[in-house]
Structure 1
């Protein structure tokens, strides 16, 4: 506890699911947290997350912005700096994963996916880094996916390619910003049982297959992702840069194959 005391964090897409869990873990470690949300429908959830931060003794604020829009990103940072101060920790968590096969993917779906999953990281990180460079200090953590490394489904090629692009963006940023004492890293969750996956995991056979395919024989939790983000945002990870920390139970290191008969 207290590893991030005195730090100011901004979490994009922080109103629910993995984002909310990250917000709470940062607050538990002493950070003040700005919670970004996009739509009016998420406002109440963002306010609830802010209330939890304040219950933990931290300062909190909510800020609405489409993080794929440069104008809105700039305004968001102005608001955060006005209310809380300069951002020490940026967590690029906002993401979408619309299920459409390659031949049915529309240009609108493609653009929305890349704006949210890649462009938002570029815009938010560029703005955050401007002040971090001046202070020679900062942490940027991008929330990616097992899809950054492997094909996870035949019906989300736009999502997978966006997460792979975000992985390379993480590495490029780490090289350029490292000399300013700014660490840029990422976490890669496997399937986590949050509201984003409610419909997908509602089918019991799908849930069973997801669990069975994982070497740990369980789904991950949002809090586990928050734990990884806290580590990468802390002084304990000062020499970790450009790294994708997989929080996937070992899923991406095992090739898909029939059950090994030698285990029986």
Structure 2
């Protein structure tokens, strides 16, 4: 076993598909043992485990603190203590302010925000004890105010992730625990194109290409590469790295 992360244990929440899957693969390719968390996509999680030499799957709804506690204990029993945590699990409902759906907003908050808190708190004791660790939170460029329609309440949850990242970095820095975030732009995943026709996907790609400096749409691997960087960026904490192809459609220049 060789690679930059040989001997390390990496827990990736929501790792059965999309960005999480790409991140899990990238860390595995660099020698890490991977804890694949999933909530409902058991088939995809098993398929991913089957393609990785050093991986185990763990079911938990990250919004449920007790399930997360049980999961982390199982990860420690099967793979060892968590050295790197990637808080990737998230959900995305699209609706405008006038179409406010309280139940959908609450569910996004539970997973996108409380999930970060729950999982971080469960891996924190070991990281404090060993005086080191890396936590990477997956936010979104929506948190910074991009103009895609229907993102209002999703963006609120991801803005909270950005602030949590800063506060966690501040509070955990004394233990040499680094906390950073990635704010992806539009990434082609099951969450963004699942269930859509080819014409709908083509229209989406055209819309987003027209709004990036690079005239590109994102791939999960692009985010995985940044996660690898953040996991070993020794003098970097409290930062949110925007990976969106150079989006040009921010709502305002104000702060």
The TM-score normalised by the length of structure 2 is 0.93
Cα drift, residue 243 of structure 1: 0.7
Maintained 8 Å contact 2:145/2:251 = no
Question: Structure 1 CA distance, aligned partners of 2:47 and 2:211?
Answer: 34
Please give the per-residue CA displacement for 1:178-232, whole angstroms capped at 9, x wherever unaligned. Answer: 1101010011111111111114684123321111111000111101100100111
- Is residue 2:122 matched to residue 1:145? no
Which residue of structure 2 aligns with residue 211 of structure 1?
Answer: 209
1:35 aligns to what? 36
User: Which residue of the partner structure matches residue 21 of structure 1?
Assistant: 22
Note the residue ranges of structure 1 that are not aligned, 5 or more in a row: 258-264
CA displacement, residues 131-186 of structure 1 (integer Å, 9 cap, x when unaligned): 10011010000011111211433312110000001100000000110110101001
For residue 234 of structure 2, the aligned residue among 217, 232, 238 is: 238
In the alignment, which residue of structure 2 is the partner of 1:110? 105
**After superposition, what is the alpha-carbon deviation per residue over 1:78-125, rounded to whole angstroms, capped at 9, x for unaligned?**
110010010000000001111122222222111100011100001111
For the 8 Å contact 2:147–2:250, the answer to whether it is kept is no
Which residue is equivalent to 1:133?
128
Q: Deviations over 1:36-57 (max 9, x none)?
A: 0001xx1111011112221xxx
Contact 2:146 2:250 in 1 (8 A): no
Cα distance in 1 between the residues matched to 2:144 and 2:51: 34
1:226 counterpart = 2:227: no
Would the alpha carbon gap of residues 195 and 53 (structure 1) be closer, same or farther in structure 2, given more than 3 Å must change?
same
Moved more, 198-207 or 93-102: 198-207
Judge conservation of contact 1:121–1:142 (CA < 8 Å) in 2.
yes
Q: What's the CA shift string for 1:59-88, capped at 9, x where partnerless?
A: 210001000011101011011001001000
Higher helix proportion = 1
Q: Which residue of 2 aligns with 1:175?
A: 170
Contact map agreement 1:184 1:241 (CA 8 A) in 2: yes
Distance 1:111 1:256 in 2: 25
Whether the 8 Å contact between 1:146 and 1:152 is mirrored in structure 2 is no
CA distance in 1 between counterparts of 2:143 and 2:251 reads 17
The answer on whether the counterparts of 1:201 and 1:207 sit within 8 Å (CA) in structure 2 is no
Matched-pair contact (CA < 8 Å) for 2:61–2:67: yes
Report the number of matched residues: 248
CA contact (8 A) 1:193 1:201 kept: no
